[in-house]
Structure 1
């Protein structure tokens, strides 16, 4: 028959107990840390989604950009000068020049 020893545990028993306690503490701490990290990640994801939604909403509610301006028409003096050059070059005669000038001036 084996006799069971009574009293304090021996060196190997103490080491085994210490290893079990340390392993359990490490496992519990790791689980807590993983849960905390998961919560922090979820909160960050939620904040990012809210920021994205707000940016999308702002983009949708913003008025569309104005259309590009139409090309500026030549001013009256430039058009008259061009008519004068065409008349001097012989591209239009005096009657056509007078009619175009009257049309530009609204006469």
Structure 2
């Protein structure tokens, strides 16, 4: 088969168009995704990182442990304590 010179044939044009279209779609999607990330970041409230709350003081011997555990669970539910801090304080209150 003789080699063609000049303009590409029909299949060459289709292949080139597919490559260009795929590249343009990928770039467009990435630009749109980055724009959405920037918009989301701009809308999110910028909360400064709060220092962790100090651990509760040692409780007197006659203090109600159920009340302390309830307060501790409330702090964890509010997101003020991590799982590790919660477990450590719970173990301290229960005396384990």
Structure number with higher relative contact order (C-alpha < 8 Å, ≥ 6 residues apart): 2
TM-score (norm 1): 0.39
Q: Which has the higher helix share?
A: 1
Q: Which has the larger radius of gyration?
A: 1
